[in-house]
Amino acid sequence: MALSINTNYPAAVALLALTSNQDQLDVSKSRMATGLRVQTAADDAFAWGNAEATKVKNSVLAGNYATASHVAGVLSVATGAAAQISTVLRNISALAASATSSDVTANRLTDIDNAYKSLLGSIDSIVNGANAFSLNLIKNTTTLSVNFLQSSGAVAASSTTINGIKLDATTLGVNGTDCSTVANAQTAIAKCEAAIQTVADAVAKLGAVQGLMERTATSFKGSLTVGEKAVSDYVDADLGVESSIVQALQVKQQLTAQSLTIANTNPSVLLRLFRN
CATH number, domain at 130? 1.20.1330.10
State mean pLDDT over 233-255.
Answer: 84
108 shares a domain with 27: no
pLDDT at 224: 94
The CA radius of gyration of the chain, in Å to the nearest whole number, is: 39
Output the CA–CA distances (angstroms, integers) from residue 194 to 75, 84, 141, 175, in the order listed: 23, 16, 20, 13
| Stretch among 18-32, 83-97, 228-242 having the lowest mean pLDDT | 18-32
Residue 114 included in any domain: yes
Task: Please give the model's pTM, rounded to 2 decimal places.
Answer: 0.74
State mean pLDDT over 240-254.
Answer: 83
Residue 73 included in any domain: yes
Residue 62 included in any domain: yes
17 vs 58: CA distance, rounded Å: 43
Q: Which amino acid is at 215?
A: R
Residue 40 has pLDDT above 80, yes or no: yes
Residue 148 carries which DSSP code? Answer: -
147 shares a domain with 28: no
128 shares a domain with 201: yes
51 shares a domain with 168: yes
116 shares a domain with 170: yes
State mean pLDDT over 113-124.
Answer: 95
Beta strands in the chain (DSSP E): 143-146, 160-163
More confident residue, 72 or 5: 72
For residue 254, give its domain range: 9-35+237-272
136, 161 Cβ separation under 8 angstroms: no
241 shares a domain with 219: no
142 shares a domain with 14: no
264 shares a domain with 131: no
Residue 270 has pLDDT above 80, yes or no: no
Output the CA–CA distances (angstroms, integers) from residue 99 to 157, 192, 248, in the order listed: 52, 14, 90
State mean pLDDT over 7-36.
Answer: 81
Q: Domains in the chain: how many in total?
A: 2
Through-space distance between the first and last CA atoms of the chain, rounded to whole angstroms: 25
203 shares a domain with 74: yes
240 burial (CB, 10 Å; 0-12 / 13-18 / 19+) is exposed
pLDDT at 102: 84
Residue 222 has pLDDT above 90, yes or no: yes
State mean pLDDT over 149-173.
Answer: 79
133 burial (CB, 10 Å; 0-12 / 13-18 / 19+) is exposed
- The percent of residues in the chain predicted with pLDDT above 90, rounded, is 57
pLDDT at 3: 61
Looking at every residue in the chain, the average pLDDT score rounds to 88
261 shares a domain with 142: no
- DSSP letters, 97-136, are HHHT-TT--HHHHHHHHHHHHHHHHHHHHHHHT--BTTB-
pLDDT at 275: 66
